[in-house]
Amino acid sequence: MTRVWTALLGSLFVASSFAQVPIPAPPQVGAVGFYLVDFASDRVIAEKAADVSVEPASITKLMTAYAAFKALEQNQISMDDQVRVSEKAWRTQGSRMFIEVDTEVGVEDLLRGMIIQSGNDASVALAEHVAGSVEAFVGLMNQHAAMLGMTGTHFENPTGLPGDNHVMTARDIAILAKAIIDEFPEYYGFYSEREFTYNGIRQHNRNSLLWRDQSVDGLKTGHTDAAGYCLVTSAERDGMRLISVVLGTASPDARADASQALLGYGFRFYETHRLYASGEEITTARVWRGQPQVAGLGLTEDLYVTIPRGKYESLSAVMDLSTDLVAPLQSQDTVGAVRVSLDGEPVSDVPLVLLHEVTQAGFFARLKDDITRWLQ
């Protein structure tokens, strides 16, 4: 059985007129690779070499932070913990927070020093505190990457300093950025802080878009000679959030310009809509041999779509029930699919589920349903 949700359909005249609206090609930016994706719908708007594994430099610290956030979530560490700085952390080369050996530094200060100041020393100190050693922490980083589906990523250290097989892809970086924003909103604010002072030394956030674009609220820069200048950015305008990743540009200004061009393109030419909310009853279906006889159907997650601006009236959605529904049925049982298309092209395909349990009806009600189905 198939039903069409006419609430999402515009008139044929409107749909036809919008179908002719042109969308320009994405901007050509001077980067080895880039990736632009909508946060809510996971719609990829633009990409180049998104699955090529490259050196990520300090963008690595997104995973260092993610692993630390996970440890905080699981009460393995606390923001109030005082971390004794090892000589190994103190001697770490590259950008620094300037922590001193054998002093104690709070976890919150270390997180700010790593996220805002890009401190390699802070990264090592956090790694040692979370897992006992840098080596053990790197193992955690790779486990988290695997669980998030970051198939083109492998870590060798928590800092982003060059390693023989220390790599990420643009797509994987976006996956990680989304996980941080989605899972840890209470800590995401660190990424929008423009400066941090520790030990009398004030350092500014290297993400210049925090000053240039008020919609930008994160995330992280990176640079080594081999990686070039890299930037992963998130911005939100009018309820639409985009994540951009730019890798291998020639300068700090180039990575900021490239990121801003991609974000501007996405916000100008695309829009995101929530079609249905998780748990919302979006339709009903007859349940044979059931009590009740009619059951509500919906989704386990919010359904978002990202489409070219002005094309909302061209959307159509179809509910496909895989078979007749016969009790007993459990809540969250998959009974079909919601298929969304734009001008006939597939946009989204998500499971349709039963919202509440349906038990078997009494003997005579079941018998009546059996006879009715047989006669059909």
Q: Which residues are designated catalytic?
A: 58, 61, 118
Q: How many CB atoms lie within 10 A of CB 376?
A: 6
Q: Which residues of 60-79 are buried (b: 16+ CB within 10 A; e: fewer)?
A: bbbbbbbbbbbbbeeeebee
317 φ, ψ (degrees, to nearest 5)? -135, 135
- Give the CB-side neighbour count of residue 253, counting CA atoms within 13 A: 0
Q: Tell me the H-state helices in 192-331.
A: 209-212, 252-269
Cis amide linkage into residue 328, ω under 30° from 0: yes
Element (H, E) at 372: helix 363-375
- Which among 220, 202, 307, 303 has a CA at the least distance from the CA of 256? 220
Residue 41 tokens read as 């719908």
